[in-house]
Structure 1
């Protein structure tokens, strides 16, 4: 409890310290585009992983062996490609596009949409999905407090939500991103330390392999999906091609996640991106590998099989570490949950303020007025998410579609906007709508396909449909933007490869 208290108080102090430095709307929403490589890298990766890193992934490996790590392969590929091909161009284009602070504002400027419909649609998708996403993070935080301290779900939810909203209101983007440096470090240490302790206690990797082999060799087979039956694991069945493709497809979601893309928009210059990419990808490799290893160690070290596989990290922490160090390890779960929820909270409030209030209600609002509005909006979105979260687990059913929804709706459109100068606003609109609708409706379409489907992840059809729609409408409907982006594209690519100083 002392460790958790220190962590939560330090987050509030960080927000107070940064409050005086947050003087403009741009400071609050993108940190004045002054994020250094280290902070940008940790913030992007910490805001990406959420509690899934220490709950969902170890639980999946505990239940089904290393065949579940195909999703890790997909995420690592997606992380690298996002940093390599999206970050430099998006950083430059959003500054050129009227210094855009939201993805919706960028798309409107990029496609010269005078009707402003594209902005409304993309902002609505962002606000609706992210409000629910924030609520799911609050639910996870409340459940974590209740499970560890037995203080009641509602009390834990209130404490978690109150602290997160408070430092977000005070310090905005810089407070959130700087806190991610602390939280990302905690997550990294936990993902490395707990497996190291477990391997040492077990007697080495050879002993781990022997222990898993005694259960079933399928636990170490990437092509198998063993299952837990009774009091042990059996060989299960082979992973089909559809299952592997579905897990790899998680990596496609990176190109359309607004809370990750905001870190690219806020980095100091394109010169910092190669260093940030190396840091971010290395962090992702180590933490994902460590989290996967925790699932395997749970099979080997825990005496009694778990009824809930997602508690394997918590149970191993209690068994292998002292109470003080267990507190540090469990704070890493809280950090993972909070680093995603606060990013989504800030993106949602920024979108409401910039894409609705500033764009349609008061286009002449002063910078000071916008700063107060966005702070009030953070509180408002936090309250709405809190009310939704009080319903508990029901929210989590919707969140299963959020990653695929964002990835399908925005991913193909964003990539085409950065790499296809002749892309039209009709193509962008078609891509966003078709991608989002495919993901939402897929659970109704999937059963109708019969033997042609085997539970394919919504991301696969969502991205395919969105890409086809964007290319078709982008080619045959509407006119390309009058402004040429070709020269800018070449300038960005040349600048990053040469490592030229300053902003592009």
Structure 2
């Protein structure tokens, strides 16, 4: 019965994608930034759906299942904390920018070399993020239909690539809106149903393993910080978020949506933590990453469980779509157009974006074979982006003193340290790479920038002295 809900919901998403591809997507702008037409409610919902995808429902659920509710605060706090900083500092600046990609904005401050490097790093990180969306959705389809996970991954990849190829951001935004509403209502209805047999919140807390009743759940402070920083830094400088703000009707809409993300993310992640902790008590022997899907199938009435499972699958699918679209924009605009100087005719730009979505989706599927753990791929991808891109992006918006040489050096250091720490050294001391790579990248940018006075500041000083 649960499978019927999932099948029906996927079919509905495909119908919506087809509708928008025929009626609303006419050019490159419609495909990449939804014609800059999104309202506050739709923008808030698509932001929430993007950052509560596999990262929260599979990777986050796995983390909560293993370490408990106290440690979950560190894992999930990155979303509202980053969104709050964006509300006060960045949202309006992002929307006022003429750029539609982070590398495009970086080039305006730091030149073409910085843009090329940023776009390559973003591609590497985003293909990784898409890959674990495939894996998470494959696990969900395994539970819903009994398919082998590899078949679920193939089907998920095909649906994600198809949806992204058809309708672009506008179809993703509206399916996100629908999915966010349904999953929030489903989780809200599920909480009292699973808490009642456990004796409420107090009974749930006492039934958890002793180590999970502590604040850090057995993690060291550095390990806990290593789980907080990747998601925090990703969202703070995420091109996916930048692309959505570019799709807002105006800067005021973008700023309101940032505050909406703060409130909605706190509410949704709190519900996820409660439901996963209850699942930990009710079904202690399951695979941690399947906690939310197991609860939907086995621990809830059919209707509520069916809607919850369908919306979980939908969120996994649309989050993958979002990162495919962002990666496609970087590939066509920043690498093909910026690095290789390939000029794509306006009437062919839409086709070019659709073809790159397909190519990047296939690459993400191949990469998934090397990172079978969703949580491992998640921390690697978030760490790569947070260490190499976010410090440079923030400097481009907030620090006039930063120089092109400093920005390029920071991206090189951040990317290389992440790769060496994760792949060559195998995460010494259990620390995620961002704890080392991000500070080194930031210090590198500051040190090199301070060694040479930027040209725009030198010119201002000279003019002042002559006057």
TM-score of the two chains, using structure 2 as the length reference: 0.88
Residue 226 (structure 2) aligns with: 246
Compared with structure 1, are the counterparts of its residues 249 and 129 closer, same or farther at alpha carbon in structure 2 (3 Å cutoff)? closer
The answer for unaligned runs of 5 or more in structure 1 is 226-238, 486-504
Residue 110 (structure 1) aligns with: 109
Cα distance, 1:254 vs structure 2 = 2.0
Compared with structure 1, are the counterparts of its residues 184 and 482 closer, same or farther at alpha carbon in structure 2 (3 Å cutoff)? farther
Compared with structure 1, are the counterparts of its residues 481 and 37 closer, same or farther at alpha carbon in structure 2 (3 Å cutoff)? farther
Q: Deviations over 1:450-477 (max 9, x none)?
A: xxx8433321222211111111222224
- Aligned with 2:56 (options 53, 57, 61): 53
- Distance in 2, matches of 1:139 and 1:120, equals 29
- Distance in 1, matches of 2:58 and 2:373, equals 18
Cα distance, 1:306 vs structure 2 = 1.3
Compared with structure 1, are the counterparts of its residues 447 and 124 closer, same or farther at alpha carbon in structure 2 (3 Å cutoff)? closer
Bigger mean CA offset, 79-88 vs 279-288: 79-88
Residue 302 (structure 2) aligns with: 323
Q: Deviations over 1:341-388 (max 9, x none)?
A: 111111111111112333355655332111111112212222333344
- Aligned with 2:5 (options 3, 6, 9): 3
Is the CA contact (8 Å cut-off) linking 1:87 and 1:265 kept in structure 2?
A: no
In the alignment of these two chains, the number of paired residues is 455
The answer for unaligned runs of 5 or more in structure 2 is 461-467
Higher share in helix: 2
- Distance in 1, matches of 2:423 and 2:371, equals 25
Is the CA contact (8 Å cut-off) linking 1:425 and 1:478 kept in structure 2?
A: no
Cα distance, 1:394 vs structure 2 = 7.5
Q: Deviations over 1:416-459 (max 9, x none)?
A: 111112322112111211111121122478789xxxx8433321
Compared with structure 1, are the counterparts of its residues 286 and 430 closer, same or farther at alpha carbon in structure 2 (3 Å cutoff)? same
Bigger mean CA offset, 429-438 vs 386-395: 386-395
- Aligned with 2:26 (options 20, 23, 28): 23
Within 5 Å, give how 1:125-274 maps onto structure 2. 125-212=121-208, 216=210, 218-225=211-218, 239-250=219-230, 251-274=232-255
2:266 aligned with 1:278: no
Cα distance, 1:189 vs structure 2 = 2.6
Is the CA contact (8 Å cut-off) linking 2:183 and 2:307 kept in structure 1?
A: no
2:42 aligned with 1:33: no
Residue 312 (structure 1) aligns with: 291
Residue 76 (structure 2) aligns with: 72
Residue 463 (structure 1) aligns with: 438
Give RMSD over aligned pairs: 2.8
- Distance in 2, matches of 1:46 and 1:150, equals 26
Is the CA contact (8 Å cut-off) linking 1:14 and 1:175 kept in structure 2?
A: yes
2:90 aligned with 1:91: no
Structure 1 runs (4+) deviating above 6 angstroms are 444-448, 482-485
